[in-house]
Structure 1
Amino acid sequence: MIPDEPHRHEPCSLYEDLINATADLAPIRMAVVHPCDVLSLSGALEAERKKLIVPLLIGPAAKIRAASIEADESIEGIEIIDVPHSHAAAQKAVALVRSGFADALMKGKLHTDELLDAVIDHNLGLRTERRISHIFAMDVPLYPKPLLITDAAINIYPDLNDKRDIVQNAIDLAHALGINLPKVAILSAVETVNPKIKSTLDAAALCKMADRDQITGGMLDGPLAFDNAISKSAAEAKGIRSEVAGDPDILVVPDLEAGNMVAKQLTYLAGAESAGIALGARVPIVLTSRADGIQSRLTSCALALLYFHHRRMLTV
């Protein structure tokens, strides 16, 4: 097999481009939920310094102040909303969004399920007609552009309707990043439709849904195996004729297990960095891992900022 032309860029350089793209945008009011550890508090404060967000720190005030001392960070002038515990912080953050006082949510030191339980509450949450899904934005040094991977964090075994929303959420984010017609690769283990492999049937159905405008704004192809989705030479070797294969902006995985493995393999074997947000609720949600560093948190805030202003432009 003839290898693809080699590409390499400096780690995080694509993330710097995304952050730079926010230069002319007003920061958004970010409800930071339970920022009671050094990483989540420092990430929010650095995003404030970069003029990405105006943070509203929601959690036990004593714990937030203790985290600021441990981080050697000043929280002078930053609004703190004192609540007794993480569960109350999630509920208060959602209430602030519902009242119009916050434009987005950011996860601090609490479990994702605890935050999302408040978001999806039928009476007091932030549900829309769209299913909520997570999108990783990967900066892979061996890939020439940001690579969106979905869904590797929320939907465990999504059905076809769930995948329709997962794909549309990712396309909407790509539009916010300035990608007018994102190329979407629907992944499976093989590149042909096989009735014994459900993900190949879902991939074929999603492509037909795009043909019928049930999914809009992207160019879909699938099923595609990972090699021929990413590599033009692999696709050519298998006789695949596709404008998506070898040049995707978005990878749609069959389920959370597969997505989690793909994202972590890129991180630990290819030196990739990951950032990400959840879409499908009324506002974007920054859902970083508790172990994610400052760069990941900054980039995730930039994604939320770009998406927020993109959606606002569409409604004007």
Structure 2
Amino acid sequence: MILPIDQVDQSNAAESSASFDLMLKATEPLEPIATAVVHPCDDASLEGAIAARDNGLITPILVGPKDKINAAASEAGLDISGCEIIDAAHSHEAAKLAVSLVHEGRAQALMKGALHTDEIMGEVVHKTRGLRTERRMSHVFVLDVPTYPKPLLISDAAINIFPDLETKADIIQNAIELGHALGVDLPKVAILSAVETIYPKIPSTVEAAALCKMAERGQITGGLLDGPLAFDNAVSKAAAETKGIVSEVAGDPDILIAPDLEAGNMIAKQLMYLAGADSAGLVLGARVPVMLTSRADGTLSRVVSAALAQLMVHYRQGKAYL
């Protein structure tokens, strides 16, 4: 039974999220996905994992120091008696063991607990024992912005600092795939820069144009791309019309592609902290989705991130759910 969104602990979150509520409802017919929760040794990470379990999203496998996990559960008043615990001496070993569970076919997703991002991602991207695929990994924020009529995906704001053209193509493809998993048949992708015209002194405008041509030639598939677009005419039809931009994407994007990590991170966090957006997100491009939540994220963010992972896993398995 899905816990209504307004009954989930929404630390650092605004009021009930309509888009997130729909995402949770979409998961109701789906089986939980086996998820290795890496080093869940504090209240926040353990509560998020257990809330995701109680909402039928994941079957958690808790990987970390058993004594610390039990102590955190006791302090938070959480019942973890039904959860498998794989003992690990420390966070580095927990990350390594969690990745090995994927290779063994025992885990369909990873969830970050109380450890640094570079610890878990270091194992995920490891050249020999990691979870690499032919596609570059990237992070996708999924935001429910009160002033925007649908979920807004923003990438990449957490993994690729200064992505080159080929990396941006993978970033876009990863985001499009998540859009498909959320039930959007042809996601509209706005490739952002400071201006909406090609200006060689701003390399991101040239790359945006190249990415659109790549989509025309079938090198990026499944989405409708336009760019370069400045943020205002990307999200506002009025701004686009004022500037004479004729575009099916401008004013109605499902996905915003930032020119670099700094820009993407600032856009996402400004929407969260100034516009009251609720957030969730995944790392994609690995063999399995990775729920890479921040220590500042509340339970709502962790639960919806688990829902995204569940939808993505079932989408890849070809199951219909929307």
Aligned to 1:116: 121
The 5 A counterparts of 1:127-206 are 127-206=132-211
Match of 1:71 among 76, 93, 106: 76
How far, CA to CA, are the matches of 2:145 and 2:306 in structure 1?
19
Q: How far, CA to CA, are the matches of 1:28 and 1:127 in structure 2?
A: 20
Structure 1 residues 238-262: Cα deviation after superposition (integer angstroms, max 9, x where no partner): 0000000000000000000001100
**1:84 aligned to which of 70, 80, 89:** 89
| Distance (whole Å) between structure 1 residues aligned to residue 204 and residue 260 of structure 2 | 9
Task: Tell me which residue corresponds to 1:232.
Answer: 237
Deviations 1:118-156 (A, max 9, x none): 011111111000000000000000000000000000100
Which aligned runs of 4 or more in structure 1 are off by greater than 4 angstroms? none
Structure 1 residue 307, shift from structure 2 partner: 0.4
User: Which of 26, 33, 49 is the aligned partner of 1:28?
Assistant: 33
Which of 281, 290, 297 is residue 286 of structure 2 equivalent to? 281
**SS across alignment from 2:111:** strand
Q: Is the 8 A contact 1:11 1:139 kept in 2?
A: no
User: How far apart are 1:271 and its partner, in Å?
Assistant: 0.4
Residue in 1 that maps onto 2:112: 107
Query: Which residue does 2:246 correspond to in 1?
Result: 241
The question of 1:297 aligning with 2:302 is answered yes
* 1:74 shift after superposition: 1.1
Letter of the 1:232 partner, please give it: K
Alignment-mate amino acid for residue 106 of structure 2: F
Aligned to 1:60: 65
Q: Deviations over 1:85-130 (max 9, x none)?
A: 0000000000000110100000001111111110111111110000
What corresponds to 1:265 in structure 2? Answer: 270
Instruction: State the distance in 1 between where 2:216 and 2:234 align.
Output: 20
How many pairs are equivalent?
Answer: 306
Amino acid at match of 2:35: M
Shift of residue 69 of structure 1? 1.3
Q: Aligned equivalents of 1:263 and 1:296: distance in 2?
A: 14
Per-residue deviation at 1:10? 5.7
**TM-score normalised according to structure 2 size:** 0.94
1:310 aligns with 2:315: yes
Q: Distance in 1 between matches of 2:163 and 2:186?
A: 24
Q: Which residue of 2 aligns with 1:4?
A: none
The answer to whether the 8 A contact 1:11-1:140 is kept is no
Q: Is the 1:105–1:285 Cα contact (8 Å) retained in structure 2?
A: yes
Mapped to 1, the partners of 2:278 and 2:290 lie a distance apart of 19
Task: Give the Cα separation in 1 of the matches to 2:18 and 2:114.
Answer: 27
Match in the other structure for 1:6: none
Match of 2:218 in 1: 213
- Counterparts of 2:284 and 2:272, CA distance in 1: 22
Percent identity of equivalent pairs: 65
Gaps of 5+ in 2: 1-13
Residue in 2 that maps onto 1:252: 257
* TM-superposition CA deviations, 1:183-226 (whole Å, max 9, x none): 00000000000000011011000000000000000000000000
User: Quick check: 1:11–1:272 contact (8 Å CA) kept in 2?
Assistant: no
How many Å separate the matches in 1 of 2:86 and 2:172? Answer: 36
Distance 2:90 2:62 in 1: 13
C-alpha separation in 2, matches of 1:268 and 1:105 = 27
- SS for the counterpart of 2:259 is coil
Question: Structure 1 unaligned runs (5+)?
Answer: 1-8
**CA-CA distance at 1:11 after TM superposition:** 4.0
Q: What's the C-alpha RMSD, in Å, of the aligned pairs?
A: 1.0
What is the match of residue 5 of structure 1?
Answer: none
